[in-house]
């Protein structure tokens, strides 16, 4: 059996990594200016399928508590906030994204990346996740922002599509939000501006879809989990802006060049896997290195579709801005789709992206993602015969990451995959198996 | 029959094999169909109007061993999700023709999909309940949702559901809910005459038998309870909150009161007692059901109504019943109930209302710890 290097340290060297840092830095500075100098008004939203286009049309500054929470985890400062929330009554078993954010929110809202402004609008885009409803309900109790529950019917029909009534219901609610935004900002909606923003989102989504299709190449030009998260930040925070669009133009160019040169994120691509579930933010690098060590590259991930699914043909349509925003929120994001639609999405990834295996990262905090992943494993191993590994930790709470155990599980899995590969190779070469 | 006789008869069924009750009913009614309703709330009138029997699938209780479902749902998922799946995997709910889940929480939503995949012969329905209670467009949305449900149940039952059928079912369930309110009133006003365990057993049995039969039981029970004249004990009076989905074992319900309190109100089996007033039975019945959900239904951890904070409802309930404290009894890993607690605690402390926080699991067997905690809490209230 080929020996693998004990530790392959990975880092992302591309131009887009630097560009991302700069753009996100600007975004966070905007939040700080809003919080500290009163520049502009903030609208809180959730990531999964959101109407950011509408907020931008009113020059409202989008703030995403999920991004706050994940940044706190990445910067390894989340735990004191989590503990603070637990002290005032939040449970050990509640989503730690919420706890970290609320712990931070109830203080001076200063973080290593930005000072988070108080919200003028607390827009709960209820897209799949029920915890969203409680998160924003709680934030609304702790401040004076206007709370609006934008109710997005879940994809429950056997067709997997929204009904005409679902679409109408969402569009009507978006119209109500326009009225609220007009009240908050004192401005009338500039419809032409909204159309321009939606057009930018359309182009951005299209570029993102092209980028994601590139990982069908062998070797894959980037890791569709660990590197996708680099691109997801501008996709969510800057979608609908010129800057966001430029970023994705640069990213596509860079990735296409990598394909041309046959370059991947690791020195050698030995395994291609699909990964399901959000990353362990507090230990992202450690987790990544556990796969890099085996030459394992994620060629597709469900997590990279939480905020929107552009890779299967959806594009925002500036001729029908509200309907198109509704369609994105209802149908074209992972979180509002049912669990079996996710099975189907993963199955397609395994087949069309030529993956060797599926890795499920089950996180305690996010039950929308994780509840029932044992059944998913059952389906992929028993029904489809795809080697599947299920590991557990958390997206936010560092107390749930057991490094040694995680490493053992991942090592054992790839060892066995490698063994199978060797046996297959021997068998194909006419050897005895 | 006396209250004791009724309660002992139904308690035995509930402890022994509650689902057999419904399975036997089906076996004795050839050609009939039974639809299981997962908590919290189902518009059972629509199922009933199709000539089918809606029953509550409220977990597996503490005599069911989870041997298969725990490999499908992780350790941090609540018990009712796993026990419900277990019931399916071991064939205990094969007699169901359909089951309906709702958008109450993330695990329950995924459970609906897992049911679809594992039990292809069962009709699995899913209702997305609205979470926007302020939009004038919500009623039309929910009515459309109920129309789809109606079509689906017409298909399952093999017959049309007329407005007249729906009107009849609405009146029937109105009567059942009215009697349940009466039962709760008796317990609230004279908790020494009707215990919470008795109230619970008499309510729960109604989720397993036809409403006509339950109405007869409730009439008998409320009449008998009104005749009781027990001596009040020296106990504190509390409101219990947090058990709107997964249900605690009967022994725990019994033990809480025995430890020194009268529970004046609770949120057990909330969806079966969902409305404080009757649902109008004239006019468009589907629209009436939809409107009732939006403007008449009980508050709970799974309905997020921005018109008024949830904690206000709890405080009002404490004031209206004359309780002096609150017991929060939350199912372990129940994210809606656990989140609510943070807000309840804040509001209760602000109002100076003492509270005790307890967690339970439907599968629990040992109640000493909970009992001791309640006793300590009661003592601190009585001798403060």
Give pLDDT tens digits for A2-43: 444 445 556 666 788 899 999 999 999 999 999 999 999 999
Rounded average pLDDT over B247-274 = 97
Identify each DSSP E strand in A84-137 by its residue range.
119-126
CA nearest to A64, candidates A311, A234, A189, A213: A234
Count of residues for chain A?
433
pLDDT at A383: 97
Give pLDDT tens digits for B291-340: 999 999 999 999 999 999 999 999 999 999 999 999 999 999 999 999 99
Give pLDDT tens digits for B79-127: 999 999 999 999 999 999 999 999 999 999 999 999 999 999 999 999 9
Calculate how close chain B gets to A133, using CA atoms only, in Å.
7
Calculate how close chain B gets to A318, using CA atoms only, in Å.
25
Contact A137 B304 (CB under 8 A): yes
Backbone angles phi, psi at A245, to 5 degrees: -65, -45
In eight-state DSSP terms, residue A107 is T
Cα separation, A126 vs A133, whole angstroms: 6
| pLDDT at B8 exceeding the cut of 80 | yes
Residue A87: CB atoms within 10 Å: 9
CA torsion sign for B267, B273, B275, B278 is: negative
pTM over 0.95: yes
Give percent above pLDDT 90 in chain B.
95
Give pLDDT tens digits for B184-237: 999 999 999 999 999 999 999 999 999 999 999 999 999 999 999 999 999 999
| pLDDT at A431 exceeding the cut of 70 | no
Cα separation, A347 vs A325, whole angstroms: 27
Please name the member of A126, A133, A372 whose beta carbon is closest to the beta carbon of B73.
Answer: A372
Q: In the structure, what pLDDT confidence band is assigned to residue A360 with cuts at 50, 70 and 90?
A: very high
Check if the beta carbon of residue B161 is closer than 8 Å to that of residue B46: yes
Give pLDDT tens digits for A361-412: 999 999 999 999 999 999 999 999 999 999 999 999 999 999 999 999 999 9
Calculate how close chain B gets to A53, using CA atoms only, in Å.
21
Interface size A-B, in CB pairs within 8 Å, comes to: 162
CA torsion sign for A385, A389, A392, A396 is: negative
List CB contacts of A112: < 8 A, sequence separation 6 or more. Answer: A71, A75, A77
Residues of A in contact with B315 (CB under 8 A): none
- ipTM for the complex shown: 0.96
Q: Is A56 exposed, middle or buried (0-12, 13-18, 19+ CB in 10 A)?
A: buried
Contact B135 A93 (CB under 8 A): no
Q: Is A392 helix (H, G, I), strand (E, B) or coil?
A: strand
Q: The tokens of A166 are what?
A: 């679902």
Contact B109 A131 (CB under 8 A): no
pLDDT at A4: 45
Residue with tokens 């004359």: B322
Rounded average pLDDT over B161-168 = 98
Cα separation, A374 vs A389, whole angstroms: 10
Contact B132 A151 (CB under 8 A): yes
């Amino acid at each position: 059996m080929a020996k693998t290097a004990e530790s392959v340290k990975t880092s992302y060297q591309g131009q887009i990594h630097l560009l991302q840092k700069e753009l996100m830095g600007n975004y966070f500075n905007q939040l700080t200016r809003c919080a500290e100098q009163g520049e502009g008004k903030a609208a809180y939203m959730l990531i999964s399928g959101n109407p950011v286009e509408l907020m931008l049309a009113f020059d409202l500054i989008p703030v995403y508590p999920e991004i706050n929470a994940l940044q706190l985890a990445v910067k390894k400062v989340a735990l004191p906030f989590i503990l603070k929330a637990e002290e005032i009554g939040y449970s050990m078993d509640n989503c730690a994204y919420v706890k970290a954010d609320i712990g931070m929110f109830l203080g001076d809202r200063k973080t290593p990346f930005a000072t988070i402004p108080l919200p003028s609008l607390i827009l709960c885009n209820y897209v799949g996740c029920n915890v969203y409803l409680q998160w924003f309900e709680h934030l609304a109790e702790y401040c004076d922002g206007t709370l609006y529950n934008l109710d997005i019917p879940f994809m429950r029909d056997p067709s997997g599509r929204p009904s005409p009534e679902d679409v109408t219901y969402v569009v009507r609610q978006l119209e109500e939000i326009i009225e609220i935004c007009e009240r908050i900002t004192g401005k009338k909606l500039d419809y032409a501006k909204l159309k321009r923003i939606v057009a930018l989102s359309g182009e951005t989504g299209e570029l993102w879809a092209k980028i994601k299709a590139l990982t069908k190449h062998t070797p894959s030009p980037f890791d569709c989990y660990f590197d996708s998260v680099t691109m997801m930040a501008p996709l969510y925070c800057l979608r609908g802006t010129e800057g966001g669009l430029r970023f994705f133009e640069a990213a596509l160019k860079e990735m296409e060049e990598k394909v041309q040169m046959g370059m991947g994120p690791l020195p050698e691509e030995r395994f291609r896997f699909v990964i399901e579930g959000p990353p362990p933010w507090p230990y992202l690098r450690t987790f990544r290195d556990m796969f890099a060590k085996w030459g394992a590259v994620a060629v597709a991930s469900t997590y990279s579709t939480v905020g929107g699914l552009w890779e299967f043909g959806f594009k925002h349509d500036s001729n029908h801005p509200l309907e198109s925003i509704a369609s994105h929120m209802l149908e074209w994001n992972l979180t509002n789709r049912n669990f079996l639609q996710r099975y189907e999405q993963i199955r397609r990834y395994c087949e069309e992206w030529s993956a060797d295996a599926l890795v499920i990262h089950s996180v305690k905090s996010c039950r929308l993602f994780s509840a029932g992943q044992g059944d998913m494993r059952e389906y992929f191993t028993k029904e489809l015969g795809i080697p599947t590994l299920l590991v557990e930790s958390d997206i936010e709470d560092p107390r749930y990451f057991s490094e040694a155990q995680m490493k053992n599980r991942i090592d054992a899995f790839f060892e066995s995959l490698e063994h199978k590969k060797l046996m297959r190779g021997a068998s194909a070469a006419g050897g005895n198996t | 029959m006396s209250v004791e006789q009724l309660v002992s008869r139904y308690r035995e069924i509930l402890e022994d094999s509650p689902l057999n009750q419904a399975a036997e009913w089906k076996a004795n009614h050839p050609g009939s169909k039974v639809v299981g309703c997962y908590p919290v709330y189902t518009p059972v009138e629509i199922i009933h109007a199709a000539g089918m029997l809606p029953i509550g699938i409220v977990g597996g209780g503490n005599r069911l061993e989870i041997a298969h479902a725990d490999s499908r749902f992780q350790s941090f998922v609540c018990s009712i999700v796993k026990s419900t799946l277990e019931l399916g995997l071991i064939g205990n709910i094969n007699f169901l023709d359909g089951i309906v889940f709702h958008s109450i929480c993330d695990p329950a939503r995924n459970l609906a999909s897992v049911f679809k995949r594992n039990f292809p012969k069962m009709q699995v329905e899913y209702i997305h309940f609205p979470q926007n209670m302020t939009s004038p467009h919500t009623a039309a949305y929910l009515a459309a949702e109920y129309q789809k449900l109606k079509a689906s149940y017409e298909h399952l039952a093999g017959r049309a559901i007329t407005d007249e059928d729906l009107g009849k079912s609405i009146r029937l369930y109105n009567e059942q809910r009215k009697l349940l309110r009466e039962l709760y009133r008796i317990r609230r006003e004279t908790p020494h005459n009707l215990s919470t365990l008795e109230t619970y057993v008499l309510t729960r049995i109604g989720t397993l038998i036809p409403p006509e039969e339950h109405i007869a039981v409730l009439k008998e029970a409320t009449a008998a309870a009104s005749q009781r004249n027990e001596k009040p004990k020296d106990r504190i009076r509390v409101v219990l909150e947090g058990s709107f989905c997964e249900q605690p074992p009967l022994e725990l319900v019994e033990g809480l009161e025995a430890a020194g309190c009268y529970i004046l109100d609770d949120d057990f089996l909330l969806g079966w007692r969902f409305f404080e007033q009757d649902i109008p039975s004239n006019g468009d019945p589907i629209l009436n059901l939809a409107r009732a959900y939006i403007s008449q239904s009980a508050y709970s951890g799974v309905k997020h109504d921005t018109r008024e904070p949830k904690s206000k409802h709890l405080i009002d309930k404490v004031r209206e019943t004359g309780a002096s404290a609150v017991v929060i009894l939350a199912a372990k890993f129940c994210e809606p109930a656990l989140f609510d607690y943070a807000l309840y605690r804040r509001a209760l402390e602000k109002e100076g209302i003492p509270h005790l926080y307890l967690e339970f699991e439907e599968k629990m067997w040992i109640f000493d710890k909970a009992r001791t905690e309640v006793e300590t809490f009661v003592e601190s209230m009585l001798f403060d």
